[in-house]
């Protein structure tokens, strides 16, 4: 399993030259001791590899970089299998990197790792995603009063429902520019046809007679 410290970052994160921190967890679930554990980590093109710093690790590790891909090699690790010693069968490496100046609003930093136990086929981790946006990452506190679905949306209509009459619905792009506005006509629900909308991340704002609801909307 792979983890990243931030799933959403904003311009201040990039301007401050902050670090993204990654953790790769591994466990020997086989039926014998593992003598070598190799982690091959594919880095996004938005990462500045020269800023790499190893933060911590569960076992002694040798780190190499081959054409922008990180290799974490645990030699003679003698990692017991989970049936023999569940607690000791775990390990991890944690590192941090900064982003380079090629990243732009709307880009997503993706990373995937491959875990090799001795000569076995690799175990592929989940892919971590970090979205660079200016849109709010929080959902309003009145989310139980208003709902937007499906999200992500592909080709079907987006349905907006509210316990209060809807006055207006606004749609903004990743840079915060208004791209569409819909009249709510005091209805408690609305259907928005977004099939011609370019794939990406948007902000939908629902203005009712009682409150304002904001949520990120993903078009696929």
Model-level pTM? 0.66
Which region holds residue 179: left if phi is over 0, alpha if psi is between -120 and 50, else beta? alpha
Q: Which residue has better confidence, 129 or 77?
A: 77
- β-bridge mates for residue 111, sequence order: 128
The answer to whether the CB of 93 falls within 8 A of the CB of 71 is no
Evaluate if residue 115 carries a pLDDT over 90: yes
Evaluate if residue 104 carries a pLDDT over 80: yes
Evaluate if residue 35 carries a pLDDT over 70: yes
Same CATH topology for 2-132 and 146-219? Answer: yes
Whether the bond between 36 and the residue before it is cis, its omega within 30 degrees of 0, is: no
Query: How confident is the model over 168-184, as a mean pLDDT?
Result: 83
pLDDT at 93: 98
CATH code for the part of the protein at 146-219: 2.60.40.3080
* Percent over 70 (pLDDT), the chain: 95
pLDDT at 140: 46
Domain spans of the chain, in order of start = 2-132, 146-219
pLDDT at 138: 43
For 81-90, the CB contacts below 8 A with 24+ separation are 81/28, 81/29, 81/30, 81/31, 81/32, 81/33, 81/34, 82/27, 82/28, 82/29, 83/31, 84/33, 89/27, 89/28, 89/29, 90/25, 90/26, 90/27, 90/58
Burial of 152 (0-12, 13-18, 19+ CB in 10 A): exposed
Looking at domain 2-132, does it have CATH number 3.90.1300.10?
A: no
């Amino acid at each position: 399993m792979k983890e990243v410290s931030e799933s959403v970052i904003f311009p201040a994160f990039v301007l401050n030259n902050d670090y993204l921190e990654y953790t790769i967890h591994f466990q020997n679930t086989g039926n014998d001791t593992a003598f070598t554990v190799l982690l091959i980590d594919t880095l996004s093109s938005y990462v500045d590899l020269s800023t790499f710093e190893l933060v911590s690790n569960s076992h002694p590790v040798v780190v190499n970089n081959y054409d922008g891909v990180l290799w974490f090699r645990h030699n003679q690790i003698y990692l017991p299998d989970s049936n023999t010693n569940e607690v000791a069968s775990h390990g991890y490496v944690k590192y941090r990197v900064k982003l380079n100046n090629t990243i732009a609003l709307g880009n997503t930093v993706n990373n995937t790792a491959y875990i090799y136990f001795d000569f076995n086929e690799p175990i592929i981790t989940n892919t971590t995603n970090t979205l660079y946006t200016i849109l709010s990452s929080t959902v309003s506190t009145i989310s139980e009063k208003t709902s937007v679905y499906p999200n992500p949306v592909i080709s079907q209509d987006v349905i907006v429902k509210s316990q209060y009459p809807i006055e207006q619905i606004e749609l903004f792009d990743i840079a915060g520019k208004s791209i569409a506005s819909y009249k709510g006509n005091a209805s408690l629900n609305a259907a928005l046809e977004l099939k011609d909308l370019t794939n990406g991340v948007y902000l939908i704002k629902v203005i009712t007679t009682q409150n304002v609801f904001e949520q990120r909307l993903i078009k696929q």
